[in-house]
Amino acid sequence: MNYPLYSDEFFMNEALREAEKAFDEDEVPVGAVIVSNNTIIARAHNLTETLSDATAHAEILAITSAENYLGSKYLGDCTLYVSLEPCLMCAAATKWVQLGKIVYGASDPKAGYKLIGKAVLHPATKVQHGILEHECGGILTKFFQSKRKNK
């Protein structure tokens, strides 16, 4: 299928091509591209099996690749095209990079970020806090105090 150049469908089709690569590699087929000024600056597909890394989602890999390409931690002028609604991890990653826009294809009612409001952690994960709280907070305070002094 040919789509009009630079249309959302055009770029989503590129994300879908990445998903197809994942499919061929026996990975859950999700693909992503990141676009800046109508140019694809990063493309990736899910590699959780290949890398034995459950965090190696298409979006995370594409974001890291785009940051490397631009030499910047921020992707404010970029659009992420991704074939599936991002999960909470990937959604939160887009917040850290201050992503300009997300365009996704299929919705993910089971693990999509729109589930926010329900439990984020795995049900089997226990949580504890406060261990060396003073020291752990203190080094942060010290860091930001030194930042302010140097301004």
Q: Taking CB under 8 A as the criterion, which residues in 30-49 touch its own copies? A: 30, 48-49
Binding mask 47-66 for its own copies (x = CB under 8 A): -xx-xxxxx----x--xx--
HEC profile for 25-66? CCCCCCEEEEEECCEEEEEEECCCCCCCCCCCCHHHHHHHHH
For residue 129, give Cα distances in angstroms to 134, 135, 136, 138. Answer: 12, 13, 11, 15
Q: Which of 4, 5, 39, 95 binds its own copies (CB under 8 A)?
A: 95
Structure tokens at 101: 């826009």
Shortest distance, CB of residue 80 to its own copies, whole angstroms? 9
Interface residue with its own copies, options 5, 125, 148, 149 (CB under 8 A): 125
Whichever of 5 and 127 has its CB closer to its own copies, that residue is 127
Catalytic residue numbers, as ranges: 59
